[in-house]
Structures are given as C-alpha cells and as structure tokens.
Structure 1
Amino acid sequence: MTDATPRLLPWSSPDGKPCFVLGDGTGFVSRMADDIEEAQLLLADGLVEDARRLLAGRNWTSGELQLLTVELTESLTEVRRVARSRGARLRAASRADRPT
C-alpha cells in the first residue's frame, strides 16, 4: 500500500523541478533520500561551525565571506527542503491518525 502524500525528495530534476516519490517510506528511493537528508544535515552542522570559526577570527577576506555566503545559501536551501519534506510527512501522519 502506498502513502497518499508524495514525499519531496532532497534533490531536483536536471531542469530544477522538485522530485517526489510515493510509497510507505521503506523502498530504495526513500532509504536513499533518508541517507542524503542525513548527509545534508551533517554538512550543514559542519558549515555552521566553519562559519562561527571564520567570523570569530575577525580577519576574513572578502573572498572568504563570499564563499561562506554561497556555501551557507546552498546549505540553507537543502535544509529547508528537508524541513518541508519532513513537515509534510508529519502532517500526513497526523491526519492519518485522526479518527474518521
């Protein structure tokens, strides 16, 4: 049986459109998405630490700040997608738990 709510995947199509999967969350694509989301969140954690270290030093160059901004923007985009995907699944699970 498949879940009626499509899951937003942590990647886009080659033309930049969002990708989705239908299923119960145990299939190959869902497991791959789980692994990629976890890696994205871990990378974001590391990037936040790098940003804190760079900014605490107070001797950065404009190039370092530009690179940091690009990397933080990319990471925030990925983390927002993870949050939206997980939020949608939580809402769907909450609706499924309600008595009819």
Structure 2
Amino acid sequence: MTAPNELRLLPWTGPDGKPCYLSTDDRGGYVSRLADNIEAVQLGTAAELLKETSETLDAQDATFDEMRCLVTELTGALRDILRVATSRGHLLAASELREPAY
C-alpha cells in the first residue's frame, strides 16, 4: 500500500472538480501510463498555445474576442501544467524518501 504522502495526483479531476489521486507501487500500471500520456498531451498543448500566443501578439491586429479566447485557453493550459508540476514534484519527493542514503 502506498503511504498517503506518496499518492500520485492525477491529471484529471473527479466529481465537483475535486482532485483525483492514485495509490499504487506500480509506476508502469495502466492508470499510471494513462496519466503519463495525458500529462504529455497537456504539456504539448501548452507548448502549442505558447507559440500561438507569440504569433498572435506579433500580429498586432488580434481582435478582443481572439485575445479573450486565447487567454481562456492559456488559463486552462496553465491549470493543467500546474497540476503536472505538482504531481511530478510529489513523485520526486516520494522517490527520494524511498532511496537509501549512502
């Protein structure tokens, strides 16, 4: 059984937007691999949005509606990336606790 401080924060939320956690010692299990794949997609989406944002700002003729849409998409991407960073930070901390000190 995984200790409470070793739970993996998953890249999706449950009912009512509450965080979902995974308790497993198998980092190669189905749900772990699914979470890894979703995180990779989220990181890729954020990179694409960053490029799109730079292009939109360089164009200097973006409408208010285009900018509003872009900000909305960036907000979602930032939320996803923060969740990925938090999850990976917890995984690193948990793995450091398990490694023997030399």
How many aligned positions are there? 99
Q: Does 1:23 align with 2:56?
A: no
Task: Give the structure 2 partner of residue 9 of structure 1.
Answer: 10
Task: Give the structure 2 partner of residue 41 of structure 1.
Answer: 43
How well do the aligned residues superpose, as a CA RMSD in angstroms?
A: 1.4
What is the aligned-residue identity percentage? 42
Q: How many angstroms apart in 2 are the aligned matches of 1:6 and 1:26?
A: 15
Q: TM-score, normalised by structure 2?
A: 0.91
SS of structure 1 residue aligned to 2:21: strand
Task: Kindly provide the CA deviation profile for residues 35-75 of structure 1, in whole angstroms up to 9, marking residues without a partner as x.
Answer: 00000000110000000000011111000110011000000
Q: How many angstroms apart in 1 are the aligned matches of 2:100 and 2:89?
A: 17
Q: Which runs of 5+ in 2 are unaligned?
A: none
- Which structure 1 residue ranges, 4+ long, deviate > 4 Å from structure 2? none
SS of structure 2 residue aligned to 1:15: helix
SS of structure 2 residue aligned to 1:8: strand
Q: Which runs of 5+ in 1 are unaligned?
A: none
SS of structure 2 residue aligned to 1:36: helix
Q: CA deviation at 1:98?
A: 4.1
SS of structure 2 residue aligned to 1:75: helix
Q: TM-score, normalised by structure 1?
A: 0.93
